[in-house]
């Protein structure tokens, strides 16, 4: 497993790296813009092509789920993936999906599908093939 911290991810315009909610890993977390289309994106490396487990650390203190489209290398591989409420911005959880990666560099992106934007993102753990 390889961890990619969200503070090293590429964020859509207006997104910030914050550290004001305790319990995150690394030095902070990604707080993307509350807007349709806002995103967090990582470049991940796979030693070989095949199915990989993608686990997103997140917090969502709102009552609403935070749906996103998950894409790999520009192709949506899962649409409407919901990040359920965690109860507090300091309560971190993980959401895991499986997706195919190519050997070498891959771009993994979560893109908000509602005006609420995505949840606060802490990390992406990749268990590659």
Instruction: Find the CATH number of the domain harbouring 94.
Output: 2.60.120.260
At 32-64, the pLDDT tens digits run: 999 999 999 999 999 999 999 999 999 999 999
pLDDT of residue 128: 78
C-alpha angle 17/94/9, rounded to 5°? 30
Q: Is the predicted pLDDT of residue 29 greater than 70, yes or no?
A: yes
pTM for this model (two decimals): 0.95
Q: Is the predicted pLDDT of residue 1 greater than 80, yes or no?
A: yes
Domain extent for 118? 2-127
Number of folded domains that form the chain: 1
Q: How much of the chain exceeds pLDDT 90, in percent? A: 98
């Amino acid at each position: 497993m390889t961890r990619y911290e969200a503070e090293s991810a590429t964020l859509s315009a207006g997104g910030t790296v914050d550290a004001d909610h305790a319990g995150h890993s690394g030095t902070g977390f990604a707080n993307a813009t509350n807007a349709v289309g806002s995103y967090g994106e990582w470049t991940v490396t796979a030693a070989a092509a095949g199915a990989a487990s993608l686990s997103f650390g997140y917090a969502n203190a709102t009552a609403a789920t935070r749906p996103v489209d998950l894409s790999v290398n520009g192709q949506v591989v899962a649409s409407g993936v919901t990040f359920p409420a965690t109860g507090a911005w300091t309560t971190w959880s993980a959401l895991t999906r499986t997706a195919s990666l190519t050997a070498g560099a891959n771009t993994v992106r979560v893109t908000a599908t509602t005006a609420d934007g995505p949840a606060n993102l802490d990390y992406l753990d990749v268990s590659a093939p």
